[in-house]
Chain A
């Protein structure tokens, strides 16, 4: 039966535009940092799981082959998990199952993307089938704009209020990024900069949207026996959840969004969480768009439906608030997609291990990590805790 599993090591690259190094070297940077972080050597790793976004992103397919050496997997068993944008959390789930099943004691999980080597928007349009959706749903900003408008409409939230709240979130995360040495976008923004930024897809403006980033993240999962043997502190996996819904965007409700609601519920049930806003100490929400971040708050039970803009403006989700969200600066400031979900897991682990440096939140005992993918379709959650 399921063995307890903990995270003992986290490594990430300096995310950003990394033209000075090759894609495998970028991956290697994260992997070596993760091993260094927990003082293990590649020989200590039993097996490796990797994952990324579609091959068209960088023009190289089945990257487990290309990165065999970079991820130190030569001679080792491997799995290659790919679930679109949610891939980072899915990689973490795979690592969890591998250790929990008893088939391995130490798993290295690696997610990566080098988005400046390709055209991410062109790639993501190919997620849509060519007959119906591709011709009008031209990439993520359009899809998320539809979702945002559905949401404000459903709950009659005044547009001005949502704009204010989105601006609050944008400024919060862009400020937090300065405390994260690995974050990509570091710009000081005034309220006016955010409010009056160019429209990307109405109502979404430039600073409501994540960047393209080059980056990789590696996280080391270990069994209880191994953790005890090493005498290390661990961030224990307390809950996991994953759900997916219809591929055609018009087929499902993206406001009272079942995939998000039920993925969170599965993870909460496993972790024994009944009041997430009270019980969680920090949440790394997958937030490529400010507007969508608020929808996640509602679906994850951080607040009631339609209520999130008020709470955002009250500072409930600020770094000193009741439930700090994305103190790393989040996806809004760093988005190497194949790594992004795993960075959420890594950041949540760092908070529990008290290794988060200037972005550390005090006394984190329970943390949530999340990723989303597909055609506004797939949601994955991992909850980590300080105690087994």
Chain B
């Protein structure tokens, strides 16, 4: 199998911007090409990620931004819903040998969209789930209830995730929301959907993410610091929320596939850093368990131990994660960009203390994580 590397990355994110979509899409694409020293003609092809319902009222988003992402007269294509899918597809395009370089772009201009949950309710089927008000937040609240009940995790432990991640975001210039919050402030921040408080829920952000993947030989020409894609796994759960065990979803399955491909047998020991998708604070704890970083039901203990802090042994979301910045569709790809920066030592003020050799990136979409995608990247 060919080795495939992430060679260069770029991102634009935050709450909103005076720039229009085309400018932002163009700038982030241009930045990656300039860093790689490639002209548009020299790039093999483009895989983008976007979702029409998160695209400011314009359908077939890929048709709209075709030229501004460098796709003119190329075999560009698009993945919907989860931007980690675009990474996966681009990876496969290089594996076949047809392309040596593939540009991956994730695009979501949150400031031009309605509230995320006005959109995520459209994931709910119109007959049973939508009329009872199911959306990503109400589904997560039910999952949080179950999580606390099953394992005795406390609201304080969940609030600690917010305290940690928004604190980390203070050092990340690309973060949308940041601040020094105590767990008391998090718990007192107003009830979003019990037991979720306002600060436990991710904001709605802009995020334009670009990266250039390349086959080994090409990657070494482009950069002295290629970051290799070592493993990828994905798994989808059944649809109706009541049919699912929200505490035993498909993340272990997705992680198992990625770890097997990467040759990882003991994730808690072999992984140096995790960037995961936690639009709701408690999910960081649950996902850590399901990624095999601690035992089942021990997510609360894990965060209480301080191990996942930016200066801990296994930093989780040193960028501030999705709680800090939530460009809904491109949030998965943003995890990959952040982990790449950490592996290279280019994360600036939020660079972790220890050298990062192997990192796990995670994307999640659907109610209570109906779909999970996991990538293992490293030196």
Contacts and interface: CB of A to CB of B under 8 A. Distances in A.
B66 A62 contact: no
B213 to A, nearest CB: 13
Given A56-B52, A60-B126, A66-B239, A77 B234 contact: yes
B343 to A, nearest CB: 23
A246 B77 CA distance: 15
Given A54-B52, A129-B64, A80 B239 contact: no
B132 to A, nearest CB: 16
A48 B80 CA distance: 14
Contacts of A60: 122-123, 125-126
A79 interface: yes
B176 interface: no
Contacts of A348: none
Interface in A51-96: 51, 53-56, 59-62, 64-69, 73-84, 90, 93-94
Contacts of B72: 244-246
A123 B59 contact: yes
Interface string A313-357: 000000000000000000000000000000000000000000000
B122 A247 contact: no
A124 B69 CA distance: 22
B345 to A, nearest CB: 30
Contact of B66 (A82, A98, A247): A247
Contacts of A377: 63, 66
B73 A56 contact: no
Contacts of B205: none
A258 B81 CA distance: 30
A375 B63 CA distance: 7
Contact of B238 (A68, A93, A243, A373): A68
Given A2-B97, A97-B92, A130-B58, A68 B53 contact: no
B1 interface: yes
Nearest to A126: B59
A53 B237 CA distance: 23
Given A77-B235, A77-B257, A82-B78, A126 B66 contact: no
A241 B53 CA distance: 28
Contacts of A21: none
A374 B97 contact: no
Contacts of B253: 75
Contacts of A59: 122, 126
A375 B61 CA distance: 11
Given A62-B80, A127-B58, A55 B53 contact: yes
B2 to A, nearest CB: 8
Contact of B63 (A123, A243, A374): A374
B305 interface: no
B89 A79 contact: yes
Given A59-B122, A65-B366, A375-B63, A77 B58 contact: no
B39 interface: no
Contacts of B367: 65
B365 interface: yes
B192 interface: no
A82 B95 CA distance: 22
A106 interface: no
Interface in B51-99: 51-53, 57-60, 62-67, 71-82, 85, 88-89, 91-93, 95-98
B74 A244 contact: yes
A100 interface: yes
B203 to A, nearest CB: 20
A66 B125 contact: yes
A380 B71 CA distance: 14
B222 to A, nearest CB: 21
B95 A81 contact: no
A138 interface: no
B260 to A, nearest CB: 12
A145 interface: no
A242 B59 contact: no
Contacts of B91: 101
A77 B53 contact: no
B172 interface: no
Interface string B25-49: 0000000000000000000000000
A79 B119 CA distance: 21
B73 A126 contact: no
Given A60-B125, A68-B238, A243-B73, A84 B51 contact: no
By CB atoms of chain B within 10 A, which of A1, A78, A245 has the most? Answer: A78
B371 A242 contact: no
B239 A61 contact: no
B110 interface: no
A247 B53 contact: no
Contacts of B76: 242, 244
Contacts of B67: 246-247
Contact of B97 (A1, A54, A69, A78): A1
A236 B352 CA distance: 50
Interface in B1-27: 1-2
Nearest to A241: B75
A64 B63 contact: no
Given A69-B238, A74-B236, A75-B236, 11 more contacts: A53-B59, A62-B81, A62-B365, A64-B81, A80-B79, A82-B52, A83-B77, A94-B89, A243-B75, A244-B72, A246-B72
Interface of A: 1-3, 47-48, 51, 53-56, 59-62, 64-69, 73-84, 90, 93-94, 97-98, 100-103, 123-124, 126-130, 241-247, 258-259, 262-263, 266, 373-375, 377-378
The 4 closest A-B pairs by CB, nearest first: A54-B59, A374-B63, A101-B95, A61-B122
22 contacts: A3-B96, A56-B52, A56-B59, A59-B122, A59-B126, A60-B126, A61-B122, A62-B122, A62-B365, A64-B236, A65-B239, A65-B370, A76-B235, A79-B79, A80-B79, A123-B59, A127-B58, A129-B58, A241-B75, A245-B72, A373-B63, A378-B66
